[in-house]
Every structure is written in C-alpha cells, then in structure tokens.
Amino acid sequence: MLEFLTQNPIVFLLWAISLIIAVTIHEFAHAFVADRLGDPTPKAHGRLTLNPLSHMDPLGTLALLVANIGWGKPVPVDSYNFANPRRDILLVSLAGPSSNVILAILTALLIRFFPVTAILGIPLIILNIGLAIFNLIPIPPLDGSKILPGLLPKQQALEWEQFIERIGLFGLLLFILPIFGGQSLIGIVISPIISAIARILIPS
C-alpha cells in the first residue's frame, strides 16, 4: 500500500480513506457490542464513537501501510460487567471481523448497482476482507486470541492462553515482518484467501 504514495498519490489517498473506514468500523463494532452486553468501559474510554482518531493504533496502522496487514487500537473491555463472560467476550471479539465482512459485502452490492463507486469500493472491499481474516489469527492483540479460547473447552483454552502469553508481541512481529523474500509469513498464508474472497465480491 505504501508504494502507492510515490507511484500514484490519488490511489494512495483512496486506500488510506478505505483503511480508516475499515479500522473505525471494526473497532466501533467491538465497543458497540460490549456496550450492548452491559460493559460501559468502551464508552467511558471514548471508544463508542465513529471518530477515526479514537480507533487508530500507530503500530497497527504502520503494519497496514507497510505489510498490508494490521489492526486498530484495542477496545478496553471489563469482562466482570458481562452476564456470561466467556460467551460475551467471544461475541465482542467476533464483532470486529464480522463488521468488516458485512461492510465488504454491502460495498460489493453497492458497486454492482452503482459501478462508479468502484474507485473507492474496491480498496474498501479488499481492506475489509484483509482486516477480518488477519484479525482471526489467534495471536494478541488480534481478535482471534480471544475468539479461539471462547470456542475451545475450558482446559484447552487455558493451555492455549498460557502458550500465547509466552509468545507475546514478539510472536506477532515474527509473523508480520516481511522476512520471507519481501513477504511476511502471515501474508503468504492469508493473501490467497483474501484474494479468493475479493474475486468473489468484486464484480468482473
């Protein structure tokens, strides 16, 4: 994505706008679902908003610009406010990727009826799908690190969380740094998935 800055600033601007929209919707969805499930923490921290400035994470944004994969600022959640913490944390975590998938589908439908919107719609579809798929990876601070334990039996979930704690942020950086011929390990794995879904959604 960053290469567009020198090659075609207009294209870079369109992708940057799409990036801001995708990340904002993703993080707002986390905050909205948490709030609806009884946790006032996101609202108290100013995250129950569509203001992009509240949701952009510097490192995650840089990763998106450089490696085309990244994340927004994690939404603070207090599980003690949930009626069913294990279930509700799972729902809050799923809200982000789900919102990106929904936005990508709605954008694809918009392009089909109004082809002129493709100039912004295509980057929006690709980035939303990429953000959704990437965030399903079960490594902190990505959503998958809370989704997977919510799906596993309690003992296996505890063992997985202990394993992830030992890996930490270093594990995430190892996966996203472009050290495999200019590509990241995660990029090699998920890029074909993102491309396949994008081909389905983007009208030929």
Residue with tokens 């929209």: 21
Cβ neighbors of 176 (< 8 A, separation 6 or more) are: 63, 67, 69, 70, 184, 185, 186, 187
Give the torsion sign (CA, 198, 128, 149, 189): positive
Please say whether the beta carbons of 96 and 130 come within 8 A.
no
Residues 176, 185: Cα–Cα separation, whole Å = 6
Q: Which residue in 27, 159, 161, 165 is the catalytic one? A: 27
Distances (CA, A) of 82 to 71, 77, 90, 98, 152: 25, 10, 11, 20, 19
User: What is the radius of gyration, based on Cα positions, of the chain?
Assistant: 17
- How is residue 30 written in tokens? 């986390």
27 among known catalytic residues: yes
Residues with catalytic annotation? 27
